[in-house]
Each structure stands twice: as C-alpha cells, then as structure tokens.
A and B are shown apart, each in its own frame.
Chain A
Amino acid sequence: MSGRPKTPQASKTAIWNDPTFRAITFQVLASVAIIWFFWVIFDNTLTNMHNRGITTGFGFLNNTAGFGILMSLIDYDETYTYGRTFFVGLLNTLLVSFLGVICATVIGFIVGVARLSNNWLIGKMAAVYVESLRNVPLLLQIFFWNFAVIQPLLPSPKQSYALADMFFLNNRGAYLPKPHFDDRIWLAVVSIFVAIAAIIYMTKWARRRQEETGQPFHTFWAGLGILLGIPAVIYWISGVEFTVDYPVLTGFNMRGGTEIIPELLSLTLALSTYTASFIAEIVRSGILGISHGQTEAARALGLNHGYTLRLVVIPQAMRIIIPPLTSQYLNLVKNSSLATTIGYPDLVGVFMGTTLNQTGQAVEIVGMTLAVYLTISLVISAFMNWWNKHMALVER
C-alpha cells in the first residue's frame, strides 16, 4: 500500500560495511592509542629519571622539612615533615580562595547592579571600576596592594596602632587576643550546628506557611536570633572557662595572640577586586538578559526598584550568571598561586617552591600540586553545576 520497497531480510552486507561494527572498532582503536600514548610517556619519564640517577617516588614526604613557614592554620615547625608542609600550603590556599570568592561575589554583585543604576554618577563610577581593574595585570595589582597600599600605611612594630592594649596593628600583621578554652567548648561548637539545622528547618517551614496562608515571617531576624542565642545559652549553661593570650611587644615583634599577616589581606583585596570586575560584567549581562517585560510587570504590580531586582529579576538572571561565575571562581583559585611574589605561603610557594627545591623531586611535587588544583576546580564546578540545575527552569 505504501509503495515502500521492503528491505530484504536475508541479505547481509560485509561486516566492515556495518556502521555499528565500524564505530565500535574505531572507538576501541582510539582508546588503545590514547592509553598506549600515556603509558609510553609515563614509562619514558620513569626510565629517563632512573637512567640519570634522579630519585623517584614519594618517600621524601616523610623526611624532615627543616624550614619555617610564616603562617600556618595547623601546628607546624621545622621538625615536621614535607608532607605536613603540603597540608599547610593547601590550607593557606583554601583560606585565601574562600575569602576571595566571598568578597569577590559580594563586590561583583554590588558593582554589577550599580552599573545599571539610574544615577549617572554611580553608573559611571562602576564603569570606571570595571574597565580599569579588568585591564591591569593581576600581578601588578597584587604588588600595588602589598607594596603601595598595605605596607606603607602600616607602622613598624614599635609604633603599632593599639586598641585597648589588646588589638594591635602594624606592618607585620594584625594581632588579636587568643582565648584558650577548656574541653567543654565542644558543647558550644555542636550547638552551632544544631542552630544551623534549626534555621534551615525554620526557613522551609516559614516559606511553606507563606505559600499556604500568605503570611510573611521575619525569617532573617529569627534566624539571627537562633544562631546567636542557642550557642550563647549552651555556653553559659556549660560554664566553660577560658584564659586569654594577649599579644605583647617583645623585642622585634609582637608575641602571643592570633596573628593575621598583611600578605593575606593584600592578596585577598587584590584577588577579590580583580575578580569582582569580571563578576560585575557577568551580573550585568545576566540582568540585561531578562526580558524587560518582567521588570514592567513587576512595576505594574507595585514593587519598587529594589524589590523588583531582588525578587523578580535576579532569581531569573542567576541561570545566566552561574556558569560564567563558575569560571571566575576557578580563575580566582588558580590566580591565588601568585601569592609567592609577595611572600604569602600558599601551596605553590611552600610546596612547589621550597620543598621542590630542597628535595629536587620536581615531577612528583608538580604532579601533586596539579592534582590538588584540578580537584579544587572540579569540586567547585560540580557544586556550581548542581546549583545551576537547582535554579534551572522546569520546562512545561
């Protein structure tokens, strides 16, 4: 009836004309070639290193380091191992990346929204900020913040700025009193997590209640009260005792207390202002990408400019903003490796710098550092992709 010629079932074409067979064969061949390629490189490197008498292997991670590190979030001195220096550097990198990401996002959103402001002056200032900081190399900006701003502004230790004789500020760092708690502090720490869980539950409950009955709930203030109140009550009930370690000027520098080095501050400032200039443009493009009809409809409902932006435009713009934002976060993490130029002890400076030079095992150390940066980047992009899916439009 249809006039279509029937495909003869019995005739078989030659196997090498079968598309499926060809596809499978070429894929297998390509995989084999790639695996062979990497195996050859790996084997070649190991053989050459062995022939030239260069030691290989990761045994060096158990040797004593023998050098000091300026700042460490965990216990460290010269008698610890090279493996320990890896973790010290890693934690420093994660710290500056974390602070940088938060600051950059906040500044970037503010500047991005400011660029679209109706106020001519604010809009132009934001534009100048973006254009100037985007175009100056980051290394120069880091030098600027460290050597031209932070260092000259701060006095030498003998002339430190002091506040109530407990807080000091000089060009070696900011010094705060350090409280030492006894063991019962873990109760208060656990209570913080309990408080956070309570806040999440309360937010969900409040949103559901608002959708059902239309009654708003002062989620923010209640949440703040819970976060501060529950740990404070637990702390007071458990009767924790503490002693305080005050910083004191001894000889050349302050001793005691918690020290926050100025390099951390200048690196965070440089990284966040630089990345914020890119994030501002991403935010601006996201907002402009939302059809103007949304804004008009929101205004027609009586929402003012702030509510329109916060409740209508930006939640939709997030879908456009999140993928490029991920790239900027990854850039910030990788750019933090410029810390070595100002003396901040990050992973590259401590592990790929000092440890590499003392042990000479470049291949292993560089490999480990690359793996770390790759892992950090993959974790960040996995999280951001999950968040993007969370934000995605559910198509009807």
Chain B
Amino acid sequence: MKKSITVFGVMAVSMIAATAQAGTLEDVKARGSLSCGVNTGVPGFSQPDEKNNWTGLDVDTCRAVAAAVLGDANKVSFKPLTTKERFTALQSGEIDVLARNTTWTQTRDTSLGLNFVGVNYYDGQGFLAHKALGVMSAKELDGASVCIQAGTTTELNLADYFRLHGMKYSSVVFDTPEQTREGFESGRCDIFTSDQSQLYAIRSKMADPASAVVLPEVISKEPLGPVVRQGDDAWFNIVKWTLFAQIEAEELGISSANVDDLKANTNNPGIKRILGTEDNAGERLGLSADWAYNAIKQVGNYGEMFERNVGPNTPLAISRGLNAQWNNGGILYAPPLR
C-alpha cells in the first residue's frame, strides 16, 4: 500500500513538473548545445559527408545561431528529418530550430503553432527533364509523369500549375530525395520537380548529369527559412536577428576575414553596433555583447555562407539572383540593427 502511494505521488509531481515550461534560450544554454533539424541530405543545404560532418546553407544558419548564443559554432547537434517528421519534431520540443529548406506559407505559419523567423534563401519551383525528351518549356508537359517528394509545397504547386494550364499529369510520390532521384533516373517519370536549388543539387548527384536539363520556367515563390515554436518570443527574436545580422554584415562589408580588424579599428557606427563595441544589442536579446561578432567570425556573413555552399565555385553553381543584397539587384534586406 505504501509503495503504491509513493508511485502515485511521484506520478502526480511529475505531471505538475511537466507542464511548467522553460524558455528555449535557457534550455539551450543549460544543455550547452543547439539542437537543429536539417534535411537528410541535399547538397548545398544540409549534407553529411562520410565522417558525419554536416555542411550546407541551413547547417551554417544553425551554426551562426549557436555561435551567437553559446559562443561556439560547433556546439550544434544535427537531426536529419524527413518531410513527415520535420514539423512534429519542432512542435514536440525535440529540436530548437528547424533549418530544413522549408517554404514559408500561411498554413504553416498559422495552424502548426510555429513561426518563420525570416528567409535565408529565396527560391522557386522548377522542372528537371530528361534531355532525350526534347522538351524546351514547361508548357509542353501535358500528360507527363512527374517524380515528386511527399508532403511538400511542390505537390500543391504542381497541381495548381497543371490545372491552370489545362494540362494533365500523373505524380509518382516518394519519401526521400534519393528515392525520388532514383525514380527519375530509372525513367519511371519524365519530369522531376522541386525547388530550383534542389534541382541543381539532385542533377549533380545523377550518374549522368548532362542527360537532364533544367527547364526555364519558375512556377512558384518558395521563400525558405528557419522555423521556431510559437509562444517563445525571446528565442524567436534571437534566431531572427542572427540571420539579419549576417545579412547586414555583408551589406556593411564585414566578413570573417576582416571582422577582428574592423572591431579594433573602425569608426563606422553601424559596424560598431553590430560588433558590440557600441550600444547593447546583445543585451536586448538576452545574449552577450559579441553575439554577432561570434556569428560572423566563425560562420561568416551571408555572402560567405552563400559562396561556400551554393555559389559559383561549388558543384551547384547558383548565381545570387534574388538572394543578392537589395542595393545589388536582389531582395535581401535586413532591418537596421540599432
């Protein structure tokens, strides 16, 4: 009898304890590392190599947050997630931030209990076709078979586009990018559709990349960005402003190479505010004064992240396009850090 009373008592106490919520910032600091949800393997965005070192644009976004919060860009643990698990992992608290080339849509922003902090890559959906089909444009695709990944905005955009142009299609739906690529390569489908960045990445992984051609049409807007949980505004601000700090740093000309020099010698007030020598932006976020300095020094500004992962010198060879600064032909625009 005494044992069962103790058991019930422990259960009751644990129920009470479970409902009390600590903020994500405190959790991350207590744990000493950031838990980041990424894709299972998309070159340029999040890809592990044979030693399980992760590289990519989303990976670097997470590392910048870790550097800003914990001071060390390597204190991140990456969880590869499929499209089915990505939102539930974030909702349940298994990860702190989701950086998984996820499109910002109204449904996801409102009905899932999640918030998008911003955009780290402006993308659009396109088509990859077998060159042997001789197709020059997406408008000639009536009746095609399309290989597609499950549960993405890609499926919906595809349906909309074909319905709009009165064309028919049949969609073959797979679980992971690798299976979708295999289906396309084996000839099961004529077309592979996904975000343009993924098309270049997937084509680079094919056995014969020259046998596939990216069609010119971009049929949707796909703003990809990191996601956090609703109800935790302090954490939302931290992730948001870390991304803005990296974009602002590129605009102001701060890079990982010259950040030390600028911190010591500059008299540009904008640069001083970012690097923490003036004003107390870090304190307003609940972080140390060199939050942005750490992020820029260890991961780089937005331009460096882009060049390193998807830029012209990488196998993906994507040009800046929309992802250039607002005063340089693109639409990347960080609100003032003051």
Residues of A within 8 A of B (CB): 40, 44, 47-49, 51-55, 66-70, 78, 147, 151-152, 156, 171-172, 250-253, 255, 262-263, 340-343, 345, 349-350, 352-354, 356-362
Contact = CB atoms under 8 A, between A and B. Distances in A.
Contacts of B286: none
Nearest to A54: B113
A217 B114 CA distance: 72
A66 B183 contact: no
A340 B174 contact: yes
Contacts of B22: none
B15 interface: yes
The 3 closest A-B pairs by CB, nearest first: A357-B151, A53-B113, A54-B113
B267 interface: no
B163 A358 contact: no
B157 to A, nearest CB: 9
Given A54-B113, A171-B188, 15 more contacts: A44-B15, A53-B113, A54-B91, A54-B111, A66-B159, A67-B156, A67-B159, A68-B169, A70-B170, A253-B143, A253-B170, A349-B175, A354-B150, A357-B87, A362-B88
Given A343-B172, A343-B173, A252 B186 contact: no
Nearest to A156: B187
Interface string B110-148: 011100000000000000000001000000011111010
Contacts, number: 135
B152 to A, nearest CB: 7
Nearest to B160: A66
Nearest to A352: B84
Contact of B151 (A263, A358, A361): A358
Given A253-B145, A349-B150, A69 B107 contact: no
Contacts of B240: none
A151 B87 CA distance: 34
A53 B230 contact: yes
B173 A152 contact: no
A173 to B, nearest CB: 9
A172 B170 CA distance: 10
B75 to A, nearest CB: 26
B159 A68 contact: yes
Contacts of A171: 186-188
A353 B186 contact: no
17 contacts: A66-B159, A67-B158, A68-B159, A68-B170, A70-B173, A151-B186, A151-B187, A251-B144, A252-B144, A252-B190, A253-B143, A340-B175, A343-B147, A349-B150, A352-B84, A357-B87, A357-B152
Contacts of A357: 83-84, 87, 150-152
B14 to A, nearest CB: 11
Interface in B157-193: 158-160, 163, 168-175, 179, 182-183, 186-188, 190
Contacts of B112: 53-55, 360
A353 B188 contact: no
B155 A67 contact: yes
B308 interface: no
Contacts of A156: 187
Contacts of B169: 68
Contacts of A343: 147, 172-174, 179, 183, 188
A51 B231 contact: yes
Contacts of B203: none
B229 interface: yes
B79 interface: no
A354 B151 contact: yes
B263 interface: no
A341 B183 CA distance: 10
A230 to B, nearest CB: 39
B269 to A, nearest CB: 39
Nearest to A366: B88
Contact of A67 (B84, B171, B172): B171
B272 interface: no
A385 B150 CA distance: 38
Given A152-B186, A362-B88, A354 B155 contact: yes
Nearest to A78: B159
Given A54-B91, A252-B190, A356 B171 contact: no
A344 to B, nearest CB: 9
Interface string B91-116: 10000000000000001100111000
Contacts of A49: 113
Interface string B186-211: 11101000000000000000000000
A250 B171 CA distance: 17
Contacts of B175: 340-341, 349, 353
B173 A353 contact: yes
Given A44-B15, A252-B144, A354-B155, A52 B173 contact: no
A137 to B, nearest CB: 16
A349 B172 CA distance: 11
A79 to B, nearest CB: 9
B129 to A, nearest CB: 10
Interface hub of A40, A252, A361 (most chain B Cβ within 10 A): A252
Nearest to A170: B187
A77 to B, nearest CB: 9
Nearest to A345: B173
B231 A70 contact: no
A360 B163 CA distance: 24
Nearest to A357: B151
A341 B147 CA distance: 12
Contacts of B88: 362
B187 A255 contact: no
Contact of A147 (B144, B147, B151, B182): B182
A51 to B, nearest CB: 7
A239 B292 CA distance: 83
Contacts of A67: 155-156, 158-159, 171
A104 B18 CA distance: 48
Given A49-B113, A55-B111, A362 B172 contact: no
Nearest to B144: A252
B171 A70 contact: yes
A164 B272 CA distance: 80
Contacts of B182: 147
A70 B173 CA distance: 8
A342 to B, nearest CB: 7
B159 A362 contact: no
Contact of A52 (B107, B143, B152, B229): B229
Contacts of A251: 142-144
B297 to A, nearest CB: 35
B231 A66 contact: no
Nearest to A63: B107
